[in-house]
Amino acid sequence: MKKAFKIAYSVLFFAACAAPAAMMPFVGNTAEIEKKELTELPAFINENGINNDFSTQFESWFNDRIPMRPELLSAANLIKGEVLNTASSNVISSGGWLFYDSEKLDYMNTNAMTDAEITAAAVTLSLLEERVTSDGGKFTFVPAPNKASVYGEHMPLCYTRADENNLTRLSAKLTELGVTYTDLLGALTEAKKSSQVYHARDSHWNNLGAVIGYNEIMNTLGRPHKTYADASYTYEQIWRADLDKLLYPSGGYMDWQYTFDITYSLFRFTSPAGVRDTAQQLAIFMSDKEENDTNISTQNLNKAPNKSLYMVRDSFGRALLPFMIDNYATANFVRTNRPELTGSFKDKDFVYEIVERNLKNVIATAPYMFAPERTEMSIPETIPEGGSAEAVLSDEGYAFRLYGSLPEDAVSGDGRVYTVFDNGKETHIFEAFPIYESELLGKDGKNGFSMFIDKKSGLSGEYKLTVISGGKAFNAGSIQTGANG
């Protein structure tokens, strides 16, 4: 009897172990459900011979495709999130409210940018605004608050809210430098007193929050616009929230969403081209599918209050699309961490939207913008020597790209960085972005500069390069430029 039991137990054990592998041919792809890139099946032999990481890679491949993975994840997260209120799948769960786990960093200010980084971000944005307004356009920076910054009362008590963080510090610095920005944190915090403006189970604002944000942006720009204040709406439990899907990929709870009854102006997509059903395409762009949405351009077919819009955005910008499209004759929405400002901004508005948790991306790499030449700036005859600087110049075809680093102990001062090109006959002075190009330099650092120089500026030949920062001069050696472009 005992032998029969042991045999039966062994058969059941090995059958249970073999079941996932046996079911794999019948299991669908879960990549879209989980919003992740599935691991590719590794090769045992690669170009270097035997793949020493095969076992680890195969385990990742198998784990991504294990049968009933969404159901198992959903069950585990249900217990951890709704019962134990512990973070799971990078999600914080608290009394029916969900937050990205990374939001706790801004909430507690444990990811604080240095004072030099805050200054660098503010200076970078000031240079963008200078470029736009010099053409006759208008500019506003739009930091979209993390949900935890607006609804901190729903965060677990184990997280203590800091008195200041990157958003509040950068906002104060922008005010100090006179840079135009839209205070969404203040507007949304006030609005939530009467209505819910963020989803409970999604990381983003709902459509009502987006309407409030849109109006704040347009008011900051000083542009005429439709307010949609009298639009009727329904409030229904129809939204499949992103954080809920992370917790329950096989199906969780539907969140509440505002659906406004608004008749928008007719428009067409100029990018992507060939769109026949504009309403359907817009609905896709406003969903969480995030397909082919890196560059969207539209043309309003009716008379719009404003001429042209260039908007750098992230996922928070999705819900703003219909309102912006409705109020501009032409609009271009670019999903990128690197704005492009090489064209004309005459009669054009530049809106730079980025979520609070990604504020450091403002100084991740220099925007595509020709560095302003400071012809009115006078360099004092005597500037304290700061040591040497590393500089790299490359020919990008349409521009020279110059970037480099300063000594780690260099003082950033007001955050302004100037590059002086001198060949003994002429001097050119450009202001660079105070940005350290970690990827290009192949190392981490804190004091850097980066810029693009228009070939029409007249640089040609060999120059002595000096970098001025923090009231000190740094010798960067000789730079050889090509012929005039």
Structural domain boundaries of the chain? 2-67, 93-363, 385-481
Which segment of 132-141, 183-192, 246-255 scores lowest on mean pLDDT?
Answer: 246-255
Which of 112-135 are b and which e, b meaning 16 or more Cβ less than 10 Å from the residue's Cβ? bbeebbbbbbbbbbbbbbebbeee
**Which residues are registered as beta bridge partners of 181?**
141
Nearest-angstrom CA–CA distance, 217 and 222: 9
- CA angle (314 as vertex; 242, 158 as ends), nearest 5: 55
Which segment of 39-48, 62-71, 393-402 scores lowest on mean pLDDT?
Answer: 62-71
Amino acid at the residue 53:
D
Total residue length of the chain: 485
Q: Which of 129, 123, 170 is nearest to 149 (CA)?
A: 170
Amino acid at the residue 320:
L
Query: Which tokens sit at 218?
Result: 């347009």
pLDDT in tens, 61-100: 656 655 555 554 444 545 555 555 555 668 999 989 999 9
**Long-range pairs for 406-409 at CB < 8 Å and ≥24 separation?**
406/447, 406/448, 406/449, 406/467, 406/469, 406/474, 407/447, 407/474, 408/445, 408/446, 408/447
- What is the mean pLDDT of the segment spanning 224-229? 97
Contacts of 101 (CB under 8 A, 6+ apart): 87, 90, 91, 92
Nearest-angstrom CA–CA distance, 267 and 277: 11
Q: Which of 150, 160, 132, 165 is nearest to 206 (CA)?
A: 150
Nearest-angstrom CA–CA distance, 92 and 157: 12
CB 402 within 8 A of CB 391: yes
Given this model, what pLDDT does residue 317 score?
Answer: 97
Consecutive H or E run containing 274: none
Q: Does 68 or 129 have the greater pLDDT score?
A: 129
pLDDT in tens, 455-483: 999 899 999 999 999 999 999 999 998 75
Q: In what order do the strands lie in the sheet with 295-300?
A: 138-144, 348-355, 306-313, 328-335, 295-300, 267-271
Tell me, rounded to whole angstroms, the distance of Cα 217 from its chain centroid.
18
pLDDT in tens, 337-381: 899 999 999 999 999 999 999 999 999 999 999 999 998 777 766
pLDDT in tens, 248-304: 887 788 999 999 999 999 999 999 999 999 999 999 999 988 888 999 999 999 999
Nearest-angstrom CA–CA distance, 256 and 38: 30
Whether the pLDDT of residue 197 is over 60: the answer is yes
Residue 394's CB: how many other CB atoms inside 10 A?
Answer: 11
Nearest-angstrom CA–CA distance, 152 and 139: 30
Nearest-angstrom CA–CA distance, 342 and 419: 20
Topology, domain 385-481? Immunoglobulin-like (2.60.40)
**Long-range pairs for 172-180 at CB < 8 Å and ≥24 separation?**
173/118, 173/119, 173/121, 173/122, 174/122, 174/125, 174/141, 176/122, 177/122, 177/123, 177/126, 178/126, 179/122, 179/125, 179/126, 179/129, 179/141, 180/129, 180/138, 180/139, 180/140, 180/141, 180/220
Given this model, what pLDDT does residue 22 score?
Answer: 55
Given this model, what pLDDT does residue 398 score?
Answer: 86
Using alpha carbons only, how large is the chain's radius of gyration in Å? 27
pTM for the structure as a whole: 0.84
CB 135 within 8 A of CB 344: yes
Q: Does 1 or 253 have the greater pLDDT score?
A: 253
